Amino acid sequence: MRRLIAFLLLSGFAAAAFAQADQPLLQSVLAELGKHAAVRADFTQTRENPALDKPQSSEGRLLFVLGHGMLWQTTAPYQETLALTGSRSARIDADGRVHPVRSERGVSQVSQMLQGMLGGKLDEALRQFNVEASGTPAQWTLRFVPRQERVARVLGSITLQGDNYLQGIRIAMQDGARTDIRFAHTRDAGPLDALEKRALGSP
Amino acid sequence: MTSQALKLRAGLFAVATVLVAALGAWLLFGRGALPIQTDLLALLPATEQNPLAEAAVERLAHANGDRMVLLVENADDARAKDAARALGKALAAQPVFDTVTAELPPFDLAQMVAPYLAHRDWLLADADRAALAQPGYDPAQALAQRLNEPFLTGVGVPLADDPFGWLQRWLAQQPWSRSPLLPEDDLLVAHQGDVTCVLVTATLKGSSYDDAVQRHALAALHTAELQIEHDYPGTKLLRTGAVFYAAAARAGAERDVHMVGWISSLGIALLLLAVFRSPGPLLQAFLSTAVGVVAATTVSLLVFGQIHLLTLVFGAALLGEAVDYSIQYLSARANAGAQWQAGRGLRQVRPALLLALATSLLGYTLLGLVPFPALRQMAVFAISGMSAACLSVFWLLPALLQRPAKPMTGALVRGARALQHALARPAHGWRGALLAATLLLVALPGWMQLRHDDDVHQLIAQPAGLLAQETQIRAITGLGNGSQFYLVQGHDAEQTLQREEALEARLQALVDDGKLEGWLGLAGMLPSQQRQARDHALLARLFDDPAHLRRTLADAGFRAAAIDAWLAAWPGTPLQLDEWLKAPLSTPFRQLWMGCHAQGCASLVLPQDDADDALLAHAAAGLPGVQLVDKPASVSALFGRYRGYASVWLLAAMLLIVPVFGWRYGWRRAPRVLAPPALGIALTLAALGYLGQPLTLFHWMALMLVLGVGANYAVFLHEGEPHAVDRPGAMYASVLLSALTALLSFGLLSLSSLPALRGFGLTLLLGIAFTALLVPASRAGSVAPCVRRQHSSGTA
C-alpha cells in the first residue's frame, strides 16, 4: 500500500519529461524557489472527503530546509510535530524526543518531492507528471497531472501556486477528496534552534 | 601361463570391458538428458541435523533458481525504460524462456485491497497496537490526526472503509509496500542517484542446470544485451540467477577437463613415445588407462545415478596415476630385452603393482570416508578406475605384449642413473641422517608459516563479477541474501506463527536500532490467530460502545451513511492461512511457508542483508522452535573439522603402511622405504608455508595421495631394481616416468579455475616432485657403490 501511495505521489510529482523543464516560466519559478535555503511559514490545511460531511481543517507552522527536509508542526486542533526528512518520518514528542514513525512513506514521498522541486530538481516529478506552468514569475501556477494511467485513476492533479515563495498546494483525488494547503507569513527561516537541527539532521 | 591362455583371458577381459563400456554409454546417453551434474549445491554435504533445514536450503536455492533477474541501468531515464522494454520483447520471443516480465500487467488498487477489508478488524500495525493498548487512548484525537495528515490521507484504502487508518497502516508495513521498486511507466523501477534501474525477470523453460537450457538462455540474453547496448547507448545490464552461476561453473570445469585431459594426454603420449621409441607401448598404456576411465565412469553412474563435473575434472587428472601400472609393465618389457616373456614379466611386476594399488586404494578409501558427496564420488571414481586399470595390466596387456621390445631410450636411462647416483650418494650413512636433519631444519620456518582456511568458497568458486552484480541487485531491489535464514517450527501452523512473532519482535528491535536492514517473514503478513484475536480484542474496547464510537465519528465530520456501513462491518473474520496462500499478493512470499508434515509445521524468516552471524544467532537464542541456518558457515565449519581429522588420518595411513612394508621388506628396512613419501610430505608442507598457501581440507587430501603415490615409487624401485641389475638406472627411469606423468596430470590441476582443485594440484605437484627426488636416497645403502651386492641381499 505504501508503495502504491509512494508511486502515486512520486508519479504525482515526477515525470513529465525533461522537455518541459525548458519552459522559461517553470525555470524561473524553480530558480526563485531554490534561492531560499530555509523557509518558515504558517499553514492552514483544509481537507474535503466524500466520507465527510464537513471539511477538516488544521493549522500550524512549517519549517522547510533545503536538502534536509521539513518540520510539519500542527498546533490546532491538536499538537503534533512531524519531521519529514528524505525517506524517513519521525514524530517529535513534547519533550523533544524523536520517535521514528514506520510506514509513512506516502507522506514522506510528497515531502521529498517538494524538497527536490523547491531545490530546483524536477527529475523525479517530471518522470511521473506532465507539468503546466501558467501566470507570471510574480504570480504563478504549476499544475502536475499524472502521466500514468494507473496513477491517474486515483490522483487527479497537484497544483502549486505562489509568488517569490510557495503560497499554496492543492491535491485533488479522483474520488472527490481535496486537500488545500495555504501558506502565510512565509519568510527566510534564519538560524535554526537545537531541536530543529536535531530533528532535521542538519549541521 | 601359456600364450594361448593369456589370449583367452585377454579376450574375456576385452568382452567384459566392451560390456561395461556399453552399460556406461547407456547410462550416460540412453536415458534422456546427460546425467552430468553442474549444481554446486549438490557438492555440499548435508550439514544440518534437521532434515527440514536442508530442505529449506534446497528450496531457497531453487525457488529463484530457474529465473533470471535482470536490471537495466541507464543514466537516461527514458533510455533505461525503452531498453528494458526492448529486452523484455527480445527475450519473450525466445522459446527457452517460459515467461518474461518487463511491463507489468494492469492491476487495480481496489482489487488488491478488497480481500483485506473483511479482516480489517483483526489486523493492526505495531504502532497502532501499542497506541490502542495505552490506557489513555483517545479515539477522537487519533481520528483528528488521521484526518489532518499532511498532504494526503486515505489513498490506499478509502476513508469510509478505514476511518482510523488501521488497515492502511497495516498494509503499509507489508513487504510489497516496502520494496524500493516502484511501478513507473508500467515497469518496476528503482532510482539510484541519477541512474534509473528497471527490473526484468525471465523464468526458464527447464532447469538452470540443464546444459541446453543454459546455452540457449545465455545466448539469447547475450544477443539481446548487445542489441540494447547498441540501440540505447549507456545501457548497462546487471544479472543474477542460478543459471549464470551454473554456466560459469560448467565453463570453468569444462575448461579444466579439456586442459588437464588434453594437455596431460598429449604430454604423456610424447613422453612415452620418447622413452619407448615406438607407438605400440603408447597405445597400450592409453588402452589400459581408457579401461580405467570407462570402468570408473560406469561404476560412478551406477552408484550415484549421475556424475558431477568436478569428478570429471579430478578423473582427468587421475589418468596420470592410472597409467603408472602399464608404465611399470612396459618398462619391465623394455628392460628384459630379448628374453621377454609376457607371463613371466607379469609375475615379476605383479607384487609391485598390487602393493602400489593397495596403498592407492587405502588413500582413496580414506578420501571416501569424508562425508562430502563430491569427495565420495571422486573416491568411488578413483577406486574403480585404478582397480580396472591395474586389472587390465594383469589380464589384457600380456596378450598384447608377447613380443620383446626395444630397450628404453639410452639417454633417459643414463640420465636417470646419474640423477640416482647424485641423489643417493649424500644419503649414505651418517651423512644421510645429517642431510635429513638439515632438510627438516630448512623446512621448519615454512611450517611455522602454515595457516588454515576453511572457507566454503574453496569448493564453490563463484566468479567475482557475478557476485558483485548480485550484491548490487540486492542493494537496489531489496531482495534477500538467501544463504542465512531462520527455520521456525511448531507442532501446528498456529504455534509456528506464534514462535515466528516472538522472533520477529526481536528482529524488529534490531531494525529499530539500525543493526539490521530488515527481515521478511510470514507472520508479518499473516499474524497468528492468537495475535489477531488480541488485536481484535483491543478494537473491541471501542466497538463495545458503538454509541460512543458513532458520536466520535460524527463529531469528526463523518457522514451517517459511512458510519453505519463501517460499524455494520464489525466484527469481520480473522485472516486464515489457506486464504492467504491463495491470495495473488502472497505469490512471491509463499516459499516462506514450508507446510505441515507429520512432525509439525515450519516457516522461514529471511534477514534482508548480510548481517553479522553472531547478531542473528543471538536474536534466535532461547526461542523455542527457532533455528538460525547458515549453510556456508556450516559447511566451512565442517571443512575445518575434517581438515583436523585429515591430518590425523594421514598419520594413521602412514602407520597402516608400516606393517605392510615391514612384512615385505623387513622391519629394519621398512622405515627407509617409507622415508621418501614421509619426508616428501614434510617438505611439501614447508613449501606450502613458504608459498603462503593457507591449508585447506583439499591440501590434506592431496597429501594422502602423495603418500599413496610416493609409496608406489619406493615400492617400484625396491621391487623392480633387482630385476634390472644389468641396466642400472632403468628402474629409476621408469619411476621418473611415472612421476612425470603424474606431474603432467595432477600438476595441471594447479591451474584449475576452482581454488580447491588448485590447492590440491599444487600440493600433489610439490609432493610428487619431492618424493620422486627422495626415492633414490631410500636405496642409498645398496645402489650407489655396487648394484650387484644389492641383488644378493634383495627382496624375497
Q: What is the pTM of this model?
A: 0.72
pLDDT band at B69 (very low <50, low <70, confident <90, very high): confident
Distance from CA of B144 to the nearest CA of A (A): 8
Question: Closest approach of chain A CAs to the CA of B229, in angstroms?
Answer: 22
Mind telling me how many Å the CA of A180 is from chain B's nearest CA?
A: 8
DSSP element (H, E) containing A156 = strand A155-162
Residue B788 has pLDDT above 60, yes or no: no
Chain B residue numbers with beta carbons less than 8 Å from the beta carbon of A105 are 172, 177-178
Q: What is the pLDDT of residue A7?
A: 40
Min Cα separation A4/chain B (Å): 7
Joined together, the cell numbers standing for residue A127 give: 518522470
Distance from CA of B141 to the nearest CA of A (A): 7
Residue B223 — pLDDT band, cuts 50, 70, 90? Answer: very high
| Domain extent listing, chain A | 2-200
- Helix B309-336 / helix B697-720 crossing angle, nearest 10 deg: 10
E strand segments, B46-194: 67-74, 97-101, 182-184, 187-192
CB contact B152 to A (< 8 Å): yes
pLDDT band at B531 (very low <50, low <70, confident <90, very high): very high
- Residue % of chain B over a pLDDT of 70: 92
Per-residue pLDDT tens over the stretch B411-464: 888 888 888 888 777 766 777 778 888 888 888 888 888 888 777 666 666 788
Residues B641 and B543: beta-carbon distance below 8 Å: no
Closest in A10, A53, A102 to B557, CB measured: A53
Per the DSSP assignment, residues forming a β-bridge with B452 are B695
Put simply, the answer to whether A150 touches B125 (Cβ < 8 Å) is: no
User: Does residue B783 surpass a pLDDT of 60?
Assistant: no
Q: Report yes or no: B101 at the A interface, CB cutoff 8 Å.
A: no
Residue of A nearest to B514 (CA): A100
Tell me: the pLDDT tens digits for B175-220?
Answer: 777 777 777 777 888 887 778 899 888 888 877 777 788 889 999 9
When pLDDT is averaged across residues A185-203 and rounded to a whole number, the result is 82
Residue with cell 641389475: B725
Query: Residue A77: is the preceding peptide bond cis (ω within 30°)?
Result: yes
Contact B409, B312 (CB under 8 A): no
Give me the mean pLDDT over the A55-67 stretch.
Answer: 89
Chain-chain contact of B169 with A58 (C-beta, under 8 angstroms): no
Write the pLDDT tens digit of every residue in B4-28: 888 888 889 889 999 999 998 888 8
Phi, psi (rounded to 5 degrees) for B641: -65, -45
**Which SS3 state, helix, strand or coil, does residue B483 take?**
coil
Give phi and psi for B514, each to the nearest 5. Answer: 75, 15
Chain A contact set for B191 (CB, 8 A): 124
Residue B370 has pLDDT above 90, yes or no: no
The torsion angles phi and psi of B195, rounded to 5 degrees, stand at -95, 135
State the pLDDT at residue B530. Answer: 93
Query: Is the pLDDT confidence value at A61 over 90?
Result: yes
Are B298 and B27 spatial neighbours (Cβ–Cβ below 8 Å)?
A: yes
Kindly state the average pLDDT of the residues B672-693.
89
Whether residues B178 and A3 touch (CB distance < 8 A) is answered with yes
CB A47 within 8 A of CB A175: no
Which of B50-54, B174-178, B245-249 holds the top average pLDDT?
B245-249
Q: How far apart are the first and last CA of chain B?
A: 22
pLDDT score for B781: 53
For residue B166 the three cell numbers come to 488501521
Contact flag A53-B558 (C-beta cutoff 8 Å): yes
Mutation site, A103, A166, A175, A182, interface B, largest B CB count within 10 A:
A103
**Chain B: closest CA distance from residue A125 (Å):** 12
- Judging contacts by C-beta atoms under 8 Å, the chain A residues touching residue B155 are 4-5, 8, 106, 154, 173
CB contact residues (below 8 A), chain B span 78-97, against chain A: 78
Q: What SS3 class is residue A78?
A: coil
* Inter-chain residue contact B154 with A53, CB threshold 8 Å: no
Question: Which fold would CATH assign to domain A2-200?
Answer: outer membrane lipoprotein receptor (LolB), chain A (2.50.20)
Nearest-CA distance A27 → chain B (Å): 20
Mean pLDDT: which of A35-44, A101-110, B63-72 is highest?
A: A35-44
A81-to-A186, B143, B384 alpha-carbon distances in Å: 19, 16, 77
| Minimum CA–CA partner of B112 in chain A | A1
What is the average per-residue pLDDT within B716-742? Answer: 82
For residue B484, give how far its alpha carbon lies from the nearest alpha carbon of chain A (Å): 25
Output the average pLDDT for chain B. Answer: 82
Q: Please, which pLDDT band fits residue A106 given cuts at 50, 70 and 90?
A: low
Q: Span A157-184, mean pLDDT?
A: 89
Could you count the other beta carbons within 10 Å of the beta carbon of residue B623?
16
Which residue from A45, A103, A124 is facing B173, i.e. has the nearest CB?
A: A103
pLDDT in tens, B288-302: 988 998 999 999 999
Question: Which chain B residues touch A147 with a CB distance below 8 Å?
Answer: 185
Most confident of A63-67, B123-127, B342-346, B613-617: B123-127
Give the pLDDT mean for B757-784. 80
Integer Rg of chain B from CA: 35
DSSP secondary structure of B319-349: HHHHHHHHHHHHHHHHHHGGG--HHHHHHHH
Contact A52 B168 (CB under 8 A): no
Distance between CA B88 and CA B792 in Å, rounded?
A: 83
Instruction: Name the H helices within B64-125.
Output: 77-92, 109-117
Provide the number of CB pairs (under 8 Å) joining chain A to chain B: 155
Which of B155, B181, B182, B196 has the highest number of chain A CBs within 10 A, making it the mutation to test binding with A? B155
Asked if A56 and B557 come within 8 Å (Cβ–Cβ), the reply is yes
- Average pLDDT in the A86-102 region? 78
CB contact under 8 A, B148 and A153: no
**Nearest chain A residue (CA) to B105:** A150
Nearest-Cα distance to chain A for B84, in Å, is 16
pLDDT at residue B793, rounded to an integer: 36
Q: How far is B25 from chain A (nearest CA, A)?
A: 56
* Rounded mean pLDDT, A19-45: 79
- Please tell me the distance in Å from B44's CA to the nearest CA on chain A: 39
CB-closest option in A5, A56, A110 to B156: A5
Cell representation of residue A23: 519552459
Chain A residues inside the 8 Å CB shell of B141: 78
Residue of A nearest to B183 (CA): A7
| Contact residues, chain A, for B190 at CB < 8 Å | none
- Quick one: closest CA in A to B167, which residue? A1
pLDDT band at residue B312, thresholds of 50, 70 and 90?
Answer: confident
Could you give the CA distance from residue B185 to residue B369 in angstroms, rounded to a whole number? 58
Measured between alpha carbons, how far is residue B383 from residues A104, B318, B708, B741 in Å?
65, 10, 13, 19
Range with the poorest average pLDDT among B377-381, B382-386, B404-408, B770-774: B404-408
The verdict on a CB contact (< 8 Å) between A52 and B113 is: no
Quote the cell numbers at residue B489.
517450527
> What pLDDT score was predicted for residue B358?
84
Asked if B172 reaches chain A (Cβ–Cβ under 8 Å), the answer is: yes
Q: Collect all residues with Cβ–Cβ distance below 8 Å to B682 and sequence separation of at least 6.
A: B439, B440, B443
Look up cell 563479477; give the residue. B465
Position B47 confidence tier, pLDDT thresholds 50, 70, 90 = low
User: How many percent of chain A have pLDDT more than 90?
Assistant: 16
pLDDT at A12 over 60: no
Q: What is the ipTM of this complex?
A: 0.85
DSSP state for residue B410 in the 8-state scheme: H
For B177, which of A1, A147, A179 is closest by C-beta distance? A1
Calculated CA dihedral for residues B389, B395, B398, B399, nearest 10 degrees: -120
Give the number of residues written for chain A. 203
Closest CA to B487 of B639, B377, B389, B629: B629
Spatial neighbors of B537 by CB under 8 A, at least 6 apart, are: none
Residues B326 and B330: their CA atoms lie apart, in Å, by 6
Chain A residues close to B188, C-beta within 8 Å: none
Nearest to A1 among B152, B171, B186 (CB): B171
With CA atoms as reference, the chain A residue closest to B168 would be: A1
- Residue B183: predicted pLDDT: 73
pLDDT of residue B786: 35
Instruction: Give the tens place of pLDDT for each residue, B325-362.
Output: 888 888 888 888 888 888 888 888 888 888 888 877 87
Q: Is B125 close to A171, i.e. CB distance below 8 A?
A: no
Which of B172, B191, B556 comes nearest A103 by C-beta?
A: B172
Give CA–CA dist A18/A126, Å, rounded.
Answer: 7
Provide, as residue numbers in chain B, all residues whose Cβ is less than 8 Å from the Cβ of A153: 108-109
